[in-house]
Chains A and B, each alone.
Chain A
Amino acid sequence: MKRWTVLTILIALIVGLTTWAGRKVYTNDDPLTLEYQEWPKEVLQSFAEIPVHNGNRIKPYSTYAKVSLVKYHGSRSMRFLNTDGEKVKVGPEAFMLDALFRPDYSKDQPIFKVTNSAILNAIGMETKKASDYYSYNALSDYRENLYNKASGYEELLKKEGTELDITKSMTLDLARNVREYETLLTYFNFARAGIVLPRLPDAPADSEIKRVPTSSFMMTVGEIHRLIQQLDKDGQSMPAHLVPVLDQLLSHINESKFGPIIYAPNSDDQEWLTNGDALMNVFRGNDPEPQKTIATLQQLEKLYQSQQDKAPDFPMELKKTVSLLEGSLNAKQQADFDREVTYNRKSWFFLATWLCFLPGMIFIAISWLSPSSLFGKILSAITWIFTGLGLVLTISGIVQRALIMHRPPVGNLYDTIIFIAAGIVFIALFTELVSRRKLALGAAPYIGFFLLVLANLYELESKADNMEPLIAVLRSNFWLTVHVPVITMGYAAGLAAWLFGVVYVFVRIIGLHQDDPSIRRVLTRMTYGAVCFSLLLSLIGTVTGGIWANDSWGRFWGWDPKENGALMIVLWTLFVLHARLGGIIKEWGLQLTAIITGPIVVFSWWHTNLLGVGLHSYGFSDSKKDAVFLFYTVNACILVAGFITYRLQSRKKSIRDNA
């Protein structure tokens, strides 16, 4: 009976966790039907390999497209039905290709997710649902209203100390997203429209109007610029026939000024440029190698034209464009770039979550029906394999990220989640290796799955690249390199202690210890070990952080909330260990105090960022605040449940002893 109870609870947990994991997937009960032709796989793959400069680093287009789509759509893919009624899933690369090459398709797609319909109502748009997806065409009639509101809010923001409420900041975000998306739509206008040459003053009225590619016009533009400067110097005005030509050029420049930055500089001290900036440089004569820029421009025109003509050589032109743009990277940049392309393709964390930890969760849950039978042993062995593989994949992903970023594996909140996921699964598997009671093994895939899903949701919520380079103070220091991973492992060990404490309470409430009394002793040793490990790592992590701070800011300790959080873990684990050694707490006391370690770790890890003070105040939003308080509340409930169980079982034992 107890085994069935365990199985039921674990299955409920699996269902709960997978439902939670899938909540960000597009769930429109009334999907749009759109005309759509899917991009060939080889086109998507080649397109992913175009280098683009964004967020202070060079990254593949796949990363850039992914961040853009997440920002607009809240998810890494967009779903609708095609005219044949089939489901279509548009990924980041396809979304970006549509916006650049097939704006008419793109404008109808449900790109923009608006979670608060009041924003749209305020700009005069009628809505059906509180949260829904909207196409650019659906929003375009209200675009001016949206921009007017947003510019008002931007003015407000400039005033010192002004903070926008959630509706205003969402309005501002939507306006910025729409504006940014528009830069994609118009990016290829230079190739689409070219330059229409006017009739010369002495040409016959019926002579043909000539349209030339922008790149051809750019070959002569230097001369035109010099001519204009000379005329200006001589006090003469520009010839009238040049005015409309230059207007067209300026229009192309403005339309591609703020889009993807794809033109690599000729030397390290120059910046990467957008198409618009590159055109402007050639026009003004500021480009030391205008022929190179024009050659790129020509290739982009060819690429665009081959797509418009639906020519079979579009994939070939795309490959040529990729090699032309990649050719500007030096060997080191190319190596990092290739690594990131591979990293994006492999989806290490996705594979670890769904193909390793999830099966591990299911196998270990079933094995609980008969753990000592051959069937149970085989399932446990399979769980070992899957969980171990999940750990290897997670570590591989972390290592890849560190190699791409040229920095230690932990540099932002996203990094901490995946690092802690690997850390806690490692600790659990190590504990299992020592204890061999399937308790730690049972917990490992669940916590691994939970944390990797949390990382995924955090990435979607943060709408950021999470691989951006570090600012000056966070670069190049030995103690920092030691401090961050060690303190993060300290968090992992603290959470492992919390997890074992929760498992202990769970075991005692169900009464599993009655079948096997040694289970209590083993769990207590596991918890004790995790608390010791947490103390060791948190202490070393805290003090090495202090030594780094002493090198960076001249102070070992600055009472920054994040520092204090780490100190709180140290002080709490010291308290637990001394109370245990002094006999003040025993088995139950150790487990319940270990459960308190969980909220303390979460306070240090997440809550200190929420306070909005200190050096580590980054990456927080209201939804995360709610999640943190939910965690506190759940733990308070577990503690109360544990305490009641302790009192009841102690009373039973004393009655039994007296009898």
Chain B
Amino acid sequence: MEKIIKFLTSFKLACVLLLLLFLHTWFMTLEQVDNGLYASSLKYFSWKSLYVIPDFRINGKLLPIILPGAYWVCVALFINMLAGGVIKIRKGWKKIGVIISHFGILLLLLGGFITHHFETRGNMALYEDESSNFAQHYHDHSIEISLLDEQGLAQEIYLFNNDFISAIKKAGTEAVTLTHTELPFTLQASHYLKNCRPRQVGPVAAGDTPKADGYALFAVTDETADEANFNGCYVNPSVGEPFLLFTGAYNPHVINHEGKNYAIALRKSIWKMPFTIKLDDFNAEFFQNGLPKRFESYIQRIEGTVSNQVKIYMNHPMRYQGYTFFQASWGPQGSKPTDRLFTVFEVVKNPSDQWPLYSILVTTAGLLLHFGVMLTSFILRQTKQKKAQ
């Protein structure tokens, strides 16, 4: 036991872990060029990655390097720092700065773990005078089934969220049955493709999904930016003909059953907010060559009958009830300053949102104290030595 504790609190372990994290960061940065940021960060830093093989090649030849997953290296570093750098470390005024800065970094790592597991993010786009109480996820998808009324408007919406999508992805060519107690039919979904295009099936090209109405989905190379991928899958319902779902489709697939119409679509998951945002005014100011100089949104945050006016602009988000709204972008792309523009908010819910700020205050205080003490004692020692000479 003593040996284990000694190992866990050792400098050697700390050095190895820091070196490993250094290598992870370096390899992951280089891999972004070919594989994109999202895929690379998932590969290296997801808790599901127990180990990683960096795609590091010299003259096209893959070097045989295996590293433990970065998430687990961070866990080990957390334990090592807590045990060695806070609990076991010799206490005294000379070490107080080190202990404080270790504590700050532990807070930062803890914040990182919380963000990794509990953060939710999406975006909300609004034209002036429009309002919305939901955001759209960046990466999560869901299958949405809407019961339509006679005007074609949704009366009820039934959702199969991202967990179902994960199950379909995992099942590969096997079908996953989607059932909902209030739906009079079931869906069998399979062949989920991360980036694909629907095309007509011909004698040469068979497609990567079974055929539906003469069409199949054809897989294409994943985009480096995950948001740019068009997802799709094959669906065989218990009523009606098989069909394809595709995030790039203009219209949902409609099933008519027992006189009722059901619209089925695969789309980015919807994330409901506990309040409504109404965009009153959006101002964009541009430089003479068209580059953005300033853009700001004047909104109303509506909760029941209560409404509050808020200004959201670059670097000044709105934080409310654990949600943070950032002025992220505007559109449509390529529009001129005189065009009608819409605003895009990035919406984030992160329980450890402000932890890095607290962490850096603690760490900076600790490091300044420590290096200040060291520098002062060094200068004093020098002066003493000079006097002695």
Contacts and interface: CB of A to CB of B under 8 A. Distances in A.
Interface of A: 53, 55-56, 271-272, 434, 469, 471-473, 475-477, 480, 525, 529, 532-533, 535-536, 539-540, 543-544, 546-548, 550-561, 564-565, 567-568, 571-572, 574-575, 578-579, 581-584, 603, 608, 611-614
Most buried by B among A272, A529, A556, A559: A556
A561 B314 contact: no
A551 B316 contact: yes
20 contacts: A271-B288, A434-B379, A434-B382, A471-B292, A472-B295, A535-B367, A539-B363, A540-B363, A543-B108, A543-B356, A551-B317, A554-B346, A554-B347, A559-B29, A571-B18, A582-B11, A584-B12, A603-B26, A611-B30, A613-B37
Contacts, number: 151
A494 to B, nearest CB: 14
B32 A613 contact: yes
A584 B37 contact: no
B245 interface: no
A552 B18 contact: no
Interface in B11-70: 11-12, 14-15, 18-19, 21-22, 25-26, 28-30, 32-33, 36-37, 40-41, 45
A539 B382 CA distance: 28
A556 B116 CA distance: 11
B226 interface: no
Given A475-B315, A553-B328, A578-B15, A547 B287 contact: no
Nearest to B347: A554
Nearest to B345: A554
Interface in B347-382: 347-348, 353, 356-357, 359-360, 363-364, 367-368, 371, 374-375, 378-379, 382
Contacts of A477: 315
B11 A561 contact: no
B326 A553 contact: yes
Contacts of A548: 315
Interface in B284-339: 287-289, 291-295, 314-317, 324, 326, 328
B367 A536 contact: yes
B359 to A, nearest CB: 7
A505 B11 CA distance: 26
A535 B317 CA distance: 30
A243 to B, nearest CB: 33
B282 to A, nearest CB: 13
B328 A575 contact: no
Contacts of B359: 543
Contacts of A575: 15, 18-19, 22
Contacts of B328: 553-554
A483 to B, nearest CB: 11
Most buried by B among A548, A555, A612: A555
Nearest to A613: B32
Nearest to B21: A571
Contacts of B292: 471-472
A56 B287 CA distance: 6
A58 B364 CA distance: 40
Contacts of A553: 326, 328, 346
Nearest to A55: B289
Given A564-B29, A575-B22, 7 more contacts: A543-B359, A556-B111, A564-B26, A571-B18, A584-B12, A608-B29, A613-B33
B29 A565 contact: yes
A556 B36 CA distance: 19
A476 B22 CA distance: 32
A265 B218 CA distance: 56
Nearest to B379: A434
A505 B347 CA distance: 53
A540 B366 CA distance: 12
Given A536-B371, A613-B32, A613-B33, A568 B26 contact: yes
A467 to B, nearest CB: 14
Contacts of A53: 288
B121 interface: yes
Contacts of B121: 554-555
